[in-house]
């Protein structure tokens, strides 16, 4: 229904303009964002290799996923090089520190469900949402690479989704606990990256909502009810 | 399956509803939290038409609230994400309720067909405006005589005459009902002149000029908040159909021969086991709903899976005939002024 005092589109067009990729401010922010992405892909590689020890029957498939992640890391490294930016890898290591720690602890305890939630659901949903938001505001070189990567990441999310779906009843309780322990970390990672992301024209609000959409879709597919999903996601919203 | 995309009437109402549904953490969140909340499929319903068929549907809350209207990107994201969810759920035809279609139209969301990895299929969505227009036109025809207004000689003002719903109502009243005179009110002059040419009549007036002359006023535009109406300047009796969104006309003017009727509302012939119409503050939430929502149900009943109402000024009399006949056949009736009021007038 059209209304007399409804907002008009004319005043708001042009808000999706591309950033200036050549400024120092852009390159400074990019050095951290790019590092996070590269580190995320490298850790994903390591995590899928580790998961192969917990799910030996899927070792080959997981190794294949791991190889894809390493290819992504190389692709994103070239994105930084293309803009003349040196990725701030120490920053990225610290950034992933807490989540990395939780994954390692779960791995040592043989908690495959927790490991899958961290890597295949949370990190992949985080990556998918961030890449989708980055693509429209990226430079042409990075856009092409990111578009290719995002398609692969769905395969990775899908792997975790399918495993957890097949083992839903036995995994449910651990998933609740792992969600409670790890989703707040994703939230604080989003907070930490928000100001740099804004320089790249990626808004925090979009990042959170898109992450929650990807994550809830996965939870839905695994078998959680609407109410369970909303309750799980609430851990990310209530900052 | 049919779908309805709706939202709460205010941030407070949304929080209350979330609490009721057990989404405590979201309910406690501030507006920023809600701005990041993804759409939720909150309810499944099943409806059986008196004509036979039973259909299934789903209600999706976009988590939009009117307080977000000033945040263009947020509002846009809420609508597109809710539409994506509807499509991903495999819903055949989904109505865009409340502010959803307004945002879609005014923010020109047609240019945002790709949402992440999903290409929105427009044929899965309808604004529901054809049914809304038909219902409003029927509300005029049914209720004016009950108030002693003879439509053959009456002056009917349509405020928002050049909009999608407004122009359709004008077409119907002019060509089907045959009212005494149409008073055309809208902001922009050229579309008014075009409409006048198309109708072959109707008088273009400002709102201030039209109101004192009108026996019936059809509002298909929300009132500007600052607008004041002096009831003594209106004709008595005067029928006012509040077809805008949100419906706030009765707070401006009612009583003393001024009869305000909520426009574009229909009632189903039996209770529907849903809770979501409480959100829209319907008098009988188990049966009443916005006509635009009912349009999605009608299209599903009729297996007519197409974006039946889409774009601006595409509503023909033939389309109104089709959806009107379906509405009657499947057990919907238009909201009328209360029977007790009709008796007292008689």
Give the largest CA-CA distance in chain B.
Answer: 60
* B332: β partners: B268
Residues in chain A: 239
A99 with A182: CB under 8 angstroms?
yes
pLDDT tens digits, A71-121: 999 999 999 999 999 999 999 999 999 999 999 999 999 999 999 999 999
Nearest by CB: B36 against A5, A9, A208: A208
pLDDT tens digits, A185-214: 999 999 999 999 999 999 999 999 999 999
- Beta carbons of A2 and B223 less than 8 Å apart: no
Residues 241-270 of B with CB under 8 A from A: 243-245, 264
Q: Tell me which chain A residues have a C-beta less than 8 angstroms from the C-beta of B225.
A: 5
Q: Tell me which chain B residues have a C-beta less than 8 angstroms from the C-beta of A186.
A: none
The bridge status of strand B114-115 relative to strand B118-119 is: antiparallel
- Residue B311 touches chain A, beta carbons under 8 Å: no
Is pLDDT at A1 greater than 50 in this prediction?
A: no
Task: Give the distance from residue B109's alpha carbon to the nearest chain A alpha carbon, in angstroms.
Answer: 10
- Beta carbons of A2 and B187 less than 8 Å apart: no
Residues in chain B: 346
- Beta carbons of B77 and A206 less than 8 Å apart: yes
pLDDT tens digits, A118-166: 999 999 999 999 999 999 999 999 999 999 999 888 888 889 999 999 9
Task: Give the distance from residue A109's alpha carbon to the nearest chain B alpha carbon, in angstroms.
Answer: 31
Q: What was the pLDDT predicted at A9? A: 38
Q: What was the pLDDT predicted at B107? A: 83
Q: What was the pLDDT predicted at B345? A: 54
Task: Give the distance from residue B102's alpha carbon to the nearest chain A alpha carbon, in angstroms.
Answer: 6
Q: Tell me which chain B residues have a C-beta less than 8 angstroms from the C-beta of A235.
A: 25
Q: What was the pLDDT predicted at A111? A: 97
- Beta carbons of B220 and A1 less than 8 Å apart: yes
Task: Give the distance from residue B32's alpha carbon to the nearest chain A alpha carbon, in angstroms.
Answer: 8
CA–centroid distance for B30 within its chain? 29
Nearest by CB: A4 against B107, B160, B312: B160
Q: Classify the C-alpha dihedral B281-B287-B293-B295 as positive or negative.
A: negative
State which residues of chain B have pLDDT below 70.
222, 254, 278-280, 339-346
Is pLDDT at A10 greater than 70 in this prediction?
A: no
Average pLDDT, stretch A38-64? 96
Q: What was the pLDDT predicted at B189? A: 95
Rounded CA-CA distance A221/B135 in Å is 40
3-state secondary structure of B258: strand
- Beta carbons of B222 and A4 less than 8 Å apart: yes
- Residue B70 touches chain A, beta carbons under 8 Å: yes
Q: Tell me which chain B residues have a C-beta less than 8 angstroms from the C-beta of A230.
A: 23, 26, 40
Q: What was the pLDDT predicted at A11? A: 39
Size of interface A-B (CB pairs under 8 A): 127
Q: What was the pLDDT predicted at A2? A: 38
The two three-digit tokens of residue B210, written as one number: 């039209």
Query: Which residue from A minimizes the CA distance to B77?
Result: A206
- Residue B89 touches chain A, beta carbons under 8 Å: no
Q: Tell me which chain B residues have a C-beta less than 8 angstroms from the C-beta of A1.
A: 101-102, 127, 129, 132, 163-165, 220, 243-245, 264, 292
Task: Give the distance from residue A17's alpha carbon to the nearest chain B alpha carbon, in angstroms.
Answer: 13
B234 with B253: CB under 8 angstroms?
yes
The two three-digit tokens of residue B151, written as one number: 């439509």
Q: pTM score, two decimals?
A: 0.89
Residues 6+ apart with CB under 8 A from B216: B140, B144, B149, B151, B154, B155, B156, B157, B179, B238, B239, B240, B241
Rounded CA-CA distance B240/B155 in Å is 12
3-state secondary structure of B312: coil
- Beta carbons of B28 and A238 less than 8 Å apart: yes
- Residue B74 touches chain A, beta carbons under 8 Å: yes
Q: What was the pLDDT predicted at A238? A: 58
**Integer distance in angstroms from the first to the last C-alpha of chain A?**
36
Q: Tell me which chain B residues have a C-beta less than 8 angstroms from the C-beta of A135.
A: none
Q: What was the pLDDT predicted at B278? A: 67
- Beta carbons of B102 and A1 less than 8 Å apart: yes
Q: What was the pLDDT predicted at B339? A: 66
């Amino acid at each position: 229904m059209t209304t007399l005092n409804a907002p008009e589109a004319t005043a708001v067009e042009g808000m999706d303009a591309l950033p200036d990729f050549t400024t120092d401010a852009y390159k400074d922010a990019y050095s951290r964002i790019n590092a996070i992405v590269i580190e995320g892909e490298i850790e994903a590689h390591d995590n899928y290799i580790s998961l192969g020890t917990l799910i030996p029957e899927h070792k080959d498939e997981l190794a294949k996923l791991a190889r894809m992640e390493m290819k992504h890391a190389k692709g994103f490294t070239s994105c930084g090089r293309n803009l003349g930016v040196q990725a701030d890898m120490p920053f990225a290591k610290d950034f992933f520190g807490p989540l990395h720690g939780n994954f390692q602890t779960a791995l040592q305890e043989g908690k495959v469900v927790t490991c899958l939630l961290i890597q295949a659901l949370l990190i992949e949903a985080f990556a998918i949402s961030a890449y989708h938001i980055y693509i429209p505001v990226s430079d042409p070189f990075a856009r092409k690479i990111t578009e290719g990567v995002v398609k692969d990441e769905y395969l990775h999310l899908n792997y975790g989704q399918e495993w957890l779906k097949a083992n839903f009843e036995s995994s449910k309780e651990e998933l609740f606990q792992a969600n409670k322990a790890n989703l707040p970390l994703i939230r604080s990672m989003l907070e930490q990256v928000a100001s740099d992301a804004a320089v790249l024209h990626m808004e925090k609000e979009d990042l959170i909502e898109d992450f929650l959409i990807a994550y809830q879709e996965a939870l839905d597919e695994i078998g959680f009810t609407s109410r369970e999903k909303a309750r799980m996601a609430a851990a990310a919203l209530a900052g | 399956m049919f779908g309805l995309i709706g939202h709460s009437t205010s941030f407070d109402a949304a929080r209350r509803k979330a609490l009721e549904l057990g989404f405590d953490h979201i309910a406690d969140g501030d507006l920023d939290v809600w701005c990041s909340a993804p759409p939720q499929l909150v309810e499944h319903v099943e409806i059986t038409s008196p004509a036979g068929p039973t259909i299934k549907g789903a209600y999706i809350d976009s988590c939009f609230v009117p307080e977000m209207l000033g945040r263009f990107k947020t509002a846009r994201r809420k609508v597109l994400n809710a539409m994506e969810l509807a499509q991903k759920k495999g819903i055949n035809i989904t109505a865009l309720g409340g502010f959803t279609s307004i945002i879609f139209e005014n923010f020109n969301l047609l240019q945002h067909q790709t949402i992440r990895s999903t290409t929105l299929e427009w044929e899965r969505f309808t604004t529901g405006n054809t049914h809304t227009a038909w219902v409003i036109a029927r509300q005029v025809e049914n209720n004016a005589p009950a108030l002693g207004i003879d439509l053959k000689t009456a002056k009917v003002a349509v405020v928002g005459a050049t909009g999608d719903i407004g122009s359709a109502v004008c077409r119907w009243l002019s060509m089907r009902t045959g009212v005494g005179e149409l008073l055309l009110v809208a902001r922009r002059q050229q579309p008014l002149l075009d409409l006048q040419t198309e109708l072959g009549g109707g008088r273009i007036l400002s709102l201030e000029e039209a109101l004192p002359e009108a026996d019936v006023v059809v509002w298909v535009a929300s009132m500007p908040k600052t607008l004041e109406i002096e009831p003594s300047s209106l004709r008595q009796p005067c029928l006012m159909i509040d077809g805008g969104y949100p419906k706030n006309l009765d707070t401006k003017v009612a009583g003393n021969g001024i009869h305000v009727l909520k426009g574009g509302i229909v009632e189903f012939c039996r209770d529907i086991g849903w809770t979501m119409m409480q959100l829209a503050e319907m008098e009988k939430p188990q049966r009443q709903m916005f006509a635009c929502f009912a349009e999605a149900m009608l299209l599903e009943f009729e297996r007519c899976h197409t974006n039946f109402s889409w774009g601006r000024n595409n509503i023909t009399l033939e389309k109104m005939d089709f959806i009107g006949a379906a509405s009657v056949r499947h057990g919907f009736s238009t909201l009328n002024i209360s029977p007790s009021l009709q008796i007292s007038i008689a």
